[in-house]
Chain A
Amino acid sequence: MWETIIIQPMTNLLLWIYDFLGHGPHMFGLAIILFTILIKLITWPLNASQVKGAQAMQELQNDKEWQDIQKKYAKDKEKIAQEQMRIYKERGINPFASCLPTLVQFPIIIGLYQSIIRALSATPYDMLKLARTIYPFQNVEGIIPLNSKFLWMDLGRPESIQVLGFALPTLAIIVALTTYIQSKLTMPASTNPNDQSAQMTKMMSIYMPLMLGWFALNFASGIAVYFIVSNVLGVVQYAATGRANWSNLLPGGGKKTSSAKKK
C-alpha cells in the first residue's frame, strides 16, 4: 500500500524530472528542488489553511473574552479547556489547523527519503528494488544509475564539509536555521504566557528545527535539500501574505510585541 501510493509515484516522478533535465551531474539535486516546488504547489491549500488558522489563533490571544476566561478560571484548568473549546466552536476555529500541514509533511518526508535512497541505489539489492519500482512506460535504462553528485554533496549520503579536520554538517545547520526562521516568522505573538496553544507553538519552534536538523544530519543529504527548499518556499509564501512576523527573529522580539499589546 505504502509502496504503491507513496514510494512508487514519488520515485517515478523524481526519475522523470531527472530524465527531463538531461540526467547529467547535479541534475538529481535539481530534480529534488523541482519536486519540492511541486509538492509546495500541491499542498498550497493546506499551507493557506495553516496561515488562516495561525492568524485566527493570533487574533484570539488578543480577544477580551478569551483573556477574561483565562483570568476567571485561572485555577481551574479543566474549566478553561471547556471554555476554550466553546469559543473555538462558536467562532469556527480549528486549533489544529496550523499543525496539519506539518503533519502532512511527514509522510512526504519519509516517502521522499525512501524514494531518494531507492533511486540512488547504493547496493545491487537497492538497484533490484528500483527495477521493480519503475513504471513500464518509463524508459530509464539509459539514466540509471543516477548521478548522485550535487554541488559538493553526494545526495545519497549525509553531508559534511571538512573544516580543520572536523566534519562540519553544514546542511544540517542550514536546515535547523531555516526551520527555526520559518517557525518564528509564522509563530503568532501571544499576550498570555499561560496560553497552552501558544506554549505548544513555542515548543514546536524549538523541537522542529532540532528534529529536522537531526534528520538532515543522519540521512541522505537529498532530504536536507528538500527541507531547505521547502523552508525557504514556506517563508516566501508566508511573507507574500504580508503576515510574516519579522520581529520574532530578534532576541526578545515576541515579548516586546506581547508587552506592547498589554499596554
Chain B
Amino acid sequence: MNTKRLMLFILLALGVIFLSACSGQPLANNWPGLATDAEHAYLAAGSFVYAVDLESGEEVWRYPAEADGKLLFYANPVLTSNGQLLIGSTGTEHPFISLDPATGKEKWAKSFNENKGAWLASPLVVNDTIYAPNTDGFLYVLDMNGKESADPIELGGALWSAPSTDGSLLYIASLDHQFHIIDPANVGSDQSIDLGGAAPGSPVVGSDGVYVGSFASTIEYIKSNGGHKVIAKTDSWIWGSPLLDGQTLYYADLSGKVYSLDLASGNQNWDTVQPDGPIVASLLMAGDQLYVATEAGTLVALDRDGKTVWEKTVGGKIYTTPVVSGDLILVAPYQADFVLAAYDAAGKQAWTFVPEK
C-alpha cells in the first residue's frame, strides 16, 4: 500500500533527523567581521574568512577552502604581533582557530565541546595570553599555542564584545548588563557594575578608567577602582564602542545621531549631527576625519566640528565598524552586492570585493 510506504518513509526520515539532532544550531545571521594589516584586509563573512589584497582588492586566500556548515565566522579577526590571525566559529562547531595571515593555513585550532557557546566577540591578546570571550558567559584564557593556560573566568551573561585593557586590568561587558573589571593576576577579586542595559560594544580605555555605552542610552565612565558615573545620555540605544580622541569622546546611537563630548567640560561640542540612518558600527577616526557608517549603507566623513566632508552611498546595510589601512578606509556592508569596499580619504572608491563562488 502507498500509505504504508509513505509512513515507512516518514519514520525513516524521522530516524535520520533524530540521529542528526545531536549537533547544535548554527548562529546563521550576522554582519561580517573585519580587520586589516598593511597588506591585507581580513573579512569574516559567514562560511569563510577571506584575505583580500589591499592594492588590488583581489582574494589572496580563504579559510576553509570549502564551505563547511560546521564553521561560520562573524567576529572581527584579531592579528597578533607574532603572526597569527585569531577567530572563533559560530557554526554548529565552535573551534577557536589561529591562521597564518600570509597563507590562510591553520596554525592551530582549539576545539571546544558542544556545551561551549559561539564566538561572536574578538579576543584580546595581552603579552602572550589570549583572552577569548564566548557567548556561554566565560572568558577563556589561552596561550599562543591554543592551550588553556588558566581556568576560564565565569562572567555570567553572554559575551559579545572584546575586552579592553589598560595594561594591567581587563574591562569587559557581559550582556546581562554587568560590566566587569578583572585583574588577571587575581581573578577572584573582579568587580561588577550594573550598567542598566546591555552593552554590546567594547569599552574604550581613557585615563584611569574606561568609557562604555549601553542600551540604557548612556555613556558611563568606569574607573579602575570600580567607581562609575553616567557622563552622557543619548536618544536611543548605543551599540558600538565610543571613540576617544584626546579630550573628546565620540559616540553614536540607534536614532542615528553622532555625539561629540568634551570630557573636560562635560558639554557637547556640537548640536545634532544626524546622517541618514541608525548607527550600529563604532566610529572611526583616521587623519582628521571622523568616519560614520550607517545602517542605510552610507559612509560619511566628518571633520572634528561635525561638518560633513563627504558622504558615499556604499550599499547594503553597514553594521561592521570600518577600518583604516594606510590611505584606505575599508567598509564591509551587509546584504550588498559586494562584501568589502575600499575608499580613499577623499571618498573615491578604490575597489570592491566580491568573492568567487
Contacts and interface: CB of A to CB of B under 8 A. Distances in A.
A167 interface: yes
A145 B158 contact: yes
Contacts of B171: none
Contacts of A207: 10
Contact of B198 (A128, A144, A210): A144
Contact of B280 (A128, A160, A203, A214): A128
Interface size range of chain B in the complex: 35 or more
A141 B280 contact: no
B175 A217 contact: no
Interface string A200-222: 00010011001001100110000
A141 B74 CA distance: 25
Contacts of B14: 210, 213-214
Interface in B129-174: 135, 157-158, 160
A206 B7 CA distance: 9
B252 interface: no
A145 B27 contact: no
A15 to B, nearest CB: 14
Contacts of B217: 141
Contacts, number: 72
Nearest to B215: A141
Interface residues of A, number: 27
B259 interface: no
Given A128-B319, A214-B14, A123 B254 contact: no
A142 B175 contact: no
Interface string B315-357: 0000100000000000000100000000000000000000000
B215 A144 contact: yes
Contact of B200 (A124, A158, A166, A214): A124
A124 B175 CA distance: 11
A23 to B, nearest CB: 11
A169 interface: yes
B30 interface: yes
Contacts of B90: 123
B237 interface: yes
A131 B21 contact: no
A157 B92 CA distance: 12
Given A123-B29, A167-B22, 7 more contacts: A127-B200, A128-B319, A141-B196, A141-B217, A206-B7, A210-B10, A217-B17
Interface of B: 3, 7, 10-11, 14, 17-18, 21-22, 24-25, 27, 29-31, 74, 90, 120, 135, 157-158, 160, 175-177, 196-198, 200, 215-217, 237, 239, 254, 280, 319, 334
19 contacts: A124-B30, A124-B239, A124-B280, A124-B319, A125-B31, A128-B319, A131-B254, A141-B197, A142-B197, A157-B25, A158-B25, A167-B22, A169-B21, A172-B21, A210-B10, A210-B11, A210-B14, A213-B14, A218-B21
